[in-house]
Amino acid sequence: MSFAALLLVDIWLTGGDGSGDNSLPVKTKLRLDCSWFITLQLISRIPELGIKKPFTEVIRANIGDAQAMGQQPITFLRQVMALCTYPNLLDSPSFPEDAKKRARRLLQACGGNSLGSYSASQGVNCIREDVAAYITRRDGGVPADPDNIYLTTGASDGISTILKILVSGGGKSRTGVMIPIPQYPLYSAVISELDAIQVNYYLDEENCWALNVNELRRAVQEAKDHCDPKVLCIINPGNPTGQVQSRKCIEDVIHFAWEEKLFLMADEVYQDNVYSPDCKFHSFKKVLYEMGPEYSSNVELASFHSTSKGYMGECGYRGGYMEVINLHPEIKGQLVKLLSVRLCPPVSGQAAMDIVVNPPVPGEESFELFHREKESVLGNLAKKAKLTEDLFNQVPGIHCNPLQGAMYAFPRIFIPSKAVEAAQAHKMAPDMFYCMKLLEETGICVVPGSGFGQREGTYHFRMTILPPVEKLKTVLQKVKDFHIKFLEKYA
């Protein structure tokens, strides 16, 4: 069997489109997006498939996992974490004083002075205070209340928890959740898990993937026929699309949410990942506040952050927070109850989040190193964002919008009709077919656009820009060569 054939068997084994089989002993109604999942699965199986391949190394450009691609942890963060983990180290001369100070403070806020105790379900108090102070600083003084901060098990947990408390109703009054297309597949998966109604609004590819409020209007109007649209999800900076929303756009969105009484979910996990010199991150919270009390006292908003992205890339610790404002007190009570069922988010992840929101400041011993490490990661990402955009746009049949932020390219690819037919013969989406061929021939793993959603008849893939610069150049060159050969083959 060929490598590709084996991969296909593997895909088949891991469950097809997941729509479920009624003859199963125990049924489940889960309909998770297929190609996204397959890519995750596939990549983890490659080493097992011990067949001769035309490449020497698999390059996992499929998932935003910085440290897995060789990015080094921020020293200060890990020092504080090590001190908290094994407090004997507080006596060691090899750790800087500012790290020790942070560790002591965190430990004092933990039950029994240990990361090993459960925290309050909402998170360790002093960490929530640090998050609130960070938000206030970030938003130029707009106040944040620690009571509105909830620490979470990565942003994933926060997003699914909020959706869980918002979804209700049956039949035509079932909750509709508006999500961008292309989207980050957590959203469609959780919506499916909760049997909520997914309401798509399309980002404008012709316009650098901008969000257009007219499109939101269209989507909400159409949705009202078959559900009760109550929630509007925004990802800014965008994944997989990499756009950074303008202040004007955010104002428009908030106004729209206010008009339509929608609960706003602002996924801002890439808030530190902005590269285009003419773009700037504006938080929904800040803009909401600046639009005045009519908006800021009424629009319900949850915004999400994470330790996984930014410059720290601490995915494995599963740290995150959400800030929830204007939530009805009774719903807030329900939220805390729901969180308390699973006891608490990982305390080590909470500690990591603390260091992200409370990093060394000028004058502290660790500041210089911290600053250097942070700027090096972000500077490199900015360089790679530009490099990727430029190179893709040199390839005939590929068009790539500017990577304004986040850590992905989502180029549009031309797939010739003969390749579309070949894909259909394999019962695959055309871009899935393309990505499989790319993997098979080059060892480069990317995710097909159909895993995120895209306008009918368009094809894309998502590739991270996380590999180190030199490796990224090789990757881009290989994709280019592959694409040209692919076009020739199916001309």
Ligand X SMILES: Cc1ncc(COP(=O)(O)O)c(C=O)c1O
For residues 7-36, which are near ligand X according to CB under 6 A? none
User: Smallest distance from the beta carbon of 49 to a second copy, in angstroms?
Assistant: 15
**CA trace torsion 69, 71, 77, 81 (10° rounding):** 40
Strand ordering across the sheet containing 408-409: 408-409, 461-464, 447-448
Q: Is 184 in the site for ligand X (CB under 6 A)?
A: yes
Q: Is 306 in the site for ligand X (CB under 6 A)?
A: yes
Which alpha helices (DSSP H) does 67-179 contain, by range?
75-85, 97-108, 125-138, 154-166
Tokens of 149: 């901060």
Nearer to a second copy, 48 or 488 (CB): 48
Which residue's CB atom is positioned nearest to ligand X? Answer: 154
Cα-based angle 129, 133, 135 (whole degrees, multiple of 5): 115
User: Smallest distance from the beta carbon of 377 to ligand X, in angstroms?
Assistant: 16
CA distance 230 to 174: 9
Nearer to a second copy, 78 or 455 (CB): 78
Nearer to ligand X, 287 or 315 (CB): 315
CA distance 154 to 163: 15
156-160 long-range contacts, Cβ below 8 Å, gap at least 24? Answer: 156/186, 156/320, 157/318, 157/320, 157/345, 158/302, 158/304, 158/320, 158/321, 158/322, 159/186, 159/187, 159/190, 159/265, 159/267, 159/304, 160/186, 160/190, 160/193
Strand ordering across the sheet containing 228-235: 149-153, 319-325, 301-306, 263-267, 228-235, 175-181, 197-202
CA distance 361 to 202: 41
Partner that binds at residue 184, options a second copy, ligand X, none, CB closer than 5 to 8 Å by kind: ligand X
Tokens of 100: 């020790």
Residues 71, 119, 156, 303: which binds ligand X (CB under 6 A)? 156
Residues 9, 343, 361, 469: which binds ligand X (CB under 6 A)? 343
Residues 71, 198, 308, 404: which binds ligand X (CB under 6 A)? 308
Tokens of 398: 């590929």
Site for ligand X in 247-286 (CB under 6 A): 267, 269
Nearer to ligand X, 314 or 389 (CB): 314
Nearer to ligand X, 119 or 148 (CB): 119
Site for ligand X in 40-79 (CB under 6 A): 64
CA distance 207 to 23: 47
Q: Is 451 in the site for ligand X (CB under 6 A)?
A: no
CA distance 335 to 239: 27
Mask: binding to ligand X, 93-122, rule CB under 6 A, as x and -? ------------------------------
User: Smallest distance from the beta carbon of 130 to a second copy, in angstroms?
Assistant: 18
Residues 320, 346, 360, 453: which binds ligand X (CB under 6 A)? 320
User: Smallest distance from the beta carbon of 24 to a second copy, in angstroms?
Assistant: 6
User: Smallest distance from the beta carbon of 207 to a second copy, in angstroms?
Assistant: 30
User: Smallest distance from the beta carbon of 23 to ligand X, in angstroms?
Assistant: 33
User: Smallest distance from the beta carbon of 54 to ligand X, in angstroms?
Assistant: 30
Tell me which residues touch ligand X (CB under 6 A): 64, 154-156, 184, 186, 235, 239, 267, 269, 306, 308, 315, 320, 343
